[in-house]
Amino acid sequence: MSETFYSIRMRAAERSIERGEKHISGGERIGRQAQIEPIVTELLRKGSSHSRGDADFLQIVIEKIIDEEIQIIPPLAVTGIETSSILKGRQEARNILEAIGISEQAMDAAFDLISSSNNLRGAALIHYRSGIRLDDRGERGVRVSRMDWQKEPELGARVREAIALASKVAHSPYTVAELCWSDDPEYVIGYVSNLATGYVRITPLKEEGCESGGRVFFVADEVDLDAYIHYLEKTPVLIRRKDE
């Protein structure tokens, strides 16, 4: 692919002297030159009218992708589970994670972290057996970036973004599984994913009105952390369905 692509990223935050910085919203896209303007407009809308609050800091970065070849990967297959309570939803998530081989300890660490009121801006990397956090990014976590659909699928923006992210994450050999639910107070659906299981949407995973949410990537034994984080943050990935 010799065409020029751009990474377009947004982050929005609420800043106060007493409470420091609260993450409101983020977004990561890839586009050709002609798509920059519409993508910037979409990201601006996303960050400036958000249920988590009014951003008083909003940053958009546009960067030409030069030094790395774009990888093309297929999206994870999507399935869904609906339950009647958060307890049951979380149990379904645990059953899937257990079947994948995630330890009890690692699951507890992940659920504690995501349901804590201290949200990260990115994801926490947790060892799939010990439950020990492996990245040293603190409150920032690791922000997966530089991924998008080659052709926009007919899905809502949120689902489209989540499947693109989960597909990129799952395609690393160091990812054993991912657990996620939103930090947006009105959105109670989350997912468990990996390459073999696909993207399993589960609802509900949290209470309506709750602002806790996040992402945990369960990481394999043989992980090369620097290479893994480089892939997540920097390697450009386009998602393309097999029949396109």
Residues near ligand WAQ (CB under 6 A) are: 26, 28, 119-123, 141, 143-144, 158-159, 162, 165, 180, 182-184, 187, 189-191, 201, 213-215
Contact 140, 158 (CB under 8 A): no
Nearest approach, Cβ of 182 to Mg ion (angstroms)? Answer: 5
The 123-127 sheet, strands edge to edge: 78-82, 198-203, 190-194, 175-181, 214-219, 123-127
Say how many C-beta atoms besides its own lie within 10 A of residue 56's C-beta: 12
Task: Closer to ligand WAQ by CB, 13 or 106: give it.
Answer: 13
Look at phi and psi of residue 39 and say left if phi exceeds 0, alpha if psi is from -120 to 50, else beta.
Answer: alpha
Cα–Cα distance, 37 to 27 (Å, whole number): 15
Nearest approach, Cβ of 184 to Mg ion (angstroms)? Answer: 4
What is the per-residue binding string for Mg ion in 158-197, x denoting contact by CB under 5 A? -------------------------xx-------------
Task: List the single partner that 146 binds among Mg ion, ligand WAQ, none, CB under 5 to 8 Å by kind.
Answer: none
Structure token pair of residue 18: 């007493």
Task: List the single partner that 14 binds among ligand WAQ, Mg ion, none, CB under 5 to 8 Å by kind.
Answer: none
Task: Closer to ligand WAQ by CB, 101 or 185: give it.
Answer: 185
